[in-house]
């Protein structure tokens, strides 16, 4: 194969190779500080890990924790990197995130923290402090989870005692009060109370009716209104007779006065008889008022007795309702507290798992190894020569096409 435009190809090859060599020589050396931390006791086959997350997911979680802003901010603050003359950058957090690499050593429970920087001492300190902060963070989480687990343990203990108490109450209730008997007694007591209330309502109505009659009669007695008095006793046979006789005397007096005039002695006698009938009506009305007042007193006595009986019946009904409520509420209460207990127990198991898992993350002191990352000048020169050769050939082909 004949290479055309050899001078161009050679020039580009040597030029780019020279540039790569100069860049490699002038570039400052980078140093990598490594801190290896052992996730103490974490077994990839552990049920605690296998049942909750896969081991790889678990390790990925630790990688994220190691690069969290909170953890890196703690490193920056502890090393005073924001004001350090050896670390003058606009955004220390972003620079650290780029400089730090977290790797998992395969088939082990080791996490390797790598910090690549041009300052070996600073890289070493950053790797060390990051591992220390990770340990401190882990211990803090362990303490927090332990406290939460203690709280849930206390809660489950309280709920367990509550369930035991309800079960005892329920057993005692069933032993002392048969639920079927309670229901039948409550039904009978409620029915008896309702009958008493109906009787009270009836007696109250009777009292009101008699009281109205007494007030009406007394008002007419005061006014001596015989006509209205006679209408106050519609079904009374004595009043009926008095009313009938008075009516007969009035009719007889009317005809007599038309025939003989008002001065007739017979007329005066009839008026006297009518007056006597009126007096008899008044006296009878007074006796009826007295009788009705006595009846009112008896009704009041009955009402008082009924109120006392209703009060006693209400107490009995209330007591039976409480028993029925207990018979219904105790199972519901037991079910509710059992659910709460089971929920608390699950939460406790979750917290206990977190504690066990976190305790396994309490790490030994990390160690760091500082060594320079070789500039690899020879590789850079070879890459430059190869790139220059390829570029020179491309330019040669382009020039050849233009000539044609």
pLDDT tens, 180-191? 666 677 778 888
Say which residue, 1 or 257, is predicted with more confidence.
257
Mean pLDDT of the chain: 71
Scored b (16 or more CB within 10 A) or e, 185-198 reads: bbeebeeebeebee
Predicted confidence (pLDDT) at residue 208 exceeds the cutoff of 80: yes
DSSP 3-state of 289? helix
Predicted confidence (pLDDT) at residue 170 exceeds the cutoff of 80: no
Provide the edge-to-edge strand list for the sheet that holds 30-38.
Answer: 100-105, 110-117, 30-38, 367-373
DSSP 3-state of 103? strand
* Phi-psi domain of 332 (left: phi exceeds 0; alpha: psi -120 through 50; beta: other): alpha
Say which residue, 148 or 197, is predicted with more confidence.
197
Predicted confidence at residue 358, as pLDDT, reads 43
Predicted confidence at residue 363, as pLDDT, reads 40
**Average of per-residue pLDDT across 236-244:** 74
Share of the chain above pLDDT 90, in %: 0
Q: What is the CA radius of gyration of the chain?
A: 57
Predicted confidence at residue 374, as pLDDT, reads 42
Q: Quote the CA–CA distance of 220 and 242 in Å, as a whole number.
A: 17
At CB < 8 A and 24+ separation, what contacts does 385-389 make?
385/13, 385/14, 385/16, 385/17, 385/20, 387/16, 387/20, 388/12, 388/13, 388/14, 388/15, 388/16, 388/17, 389/9, 389/12, 389/13
């Amino acid at each position: 194969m004949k290479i055309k435009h050899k001078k161009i190809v050679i020039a580009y090859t040597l030029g780019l190779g020279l540039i790569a060599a100069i860049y490699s020589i002038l570039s400052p050396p980078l140093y990598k500080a490594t801190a290896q931390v052992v996730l103490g006791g974490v077994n990839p086959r552990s049920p605690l890990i296998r049942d909750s997350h896969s081991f790889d997911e678990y390790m990925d979680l630790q990688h994220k924790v190691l690069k969290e802003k909170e953890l890196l901010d703690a490193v920056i603050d502890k090393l005073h990197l924001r004001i350090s003359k050896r670390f003058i950058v606009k955004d220390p957090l972003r620079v650290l995130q780029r400089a730090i690499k977290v790797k998992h050593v395969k088939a082990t429970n080791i996490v390797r923290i790598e910090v690549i920087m041009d300052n070996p001492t600073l890289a070493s300190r950053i790797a060390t402090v990051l591992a220390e902060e990770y340990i401190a963070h882990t211990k803090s989480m362990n303490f927090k989870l332990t406290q939460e687990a203690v709280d849930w343990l206390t809660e489950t203990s309280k709920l367990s005692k509550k369930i035991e108490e309800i079960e005892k109450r329920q057993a005692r209730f069933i032993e002392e009060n048969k639920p079927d008997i309670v229901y039948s007694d409550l039904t009978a007591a409620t029915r008896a109370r309702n009958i008493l209330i109906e009787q009270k309502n009836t007696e109250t109505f009777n009292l009101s009716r008699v009281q109205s009659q007494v007030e009406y009669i007394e008002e007419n007695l005061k006014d001596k209104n015989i006509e209205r008095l006679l209408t106050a006793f519609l079904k009374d046979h004595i009043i009926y007779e008095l009313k009938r006789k008075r009516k007969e005397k009035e009719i007889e007096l009317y005809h007599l006065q038309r025939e003989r005039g008002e001065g007739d002695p017979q007329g005066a006698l009839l008026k006297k008889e009518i007056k006597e009938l009126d007096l008899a009506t008044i006296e009878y009305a007074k006796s009826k008022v007295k009788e009705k007042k006595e009846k009112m007193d008896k009704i009041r006595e009955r009402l008082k007795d009924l109120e006392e009986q209703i009060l006693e019946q209400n107490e009995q009904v209330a007591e039976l309702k409480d028993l029925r409520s207990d018979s219904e509420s105790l199972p519901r209460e037991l079910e509710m507290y059992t659910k709460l207990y089971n929920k608390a127990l699950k939460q406790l198991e979750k917290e206990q798992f977190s504690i066990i898992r976190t305790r396994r993350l309490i790490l030994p002191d990390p160690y760091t190894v500082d060594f320079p990352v070789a500039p690899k000048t020879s590789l850079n020169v070879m890459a430059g020569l190869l790139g220059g050769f390829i570029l020179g050939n491309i330019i040669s082909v382009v020039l050849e096409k233009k000539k044609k």
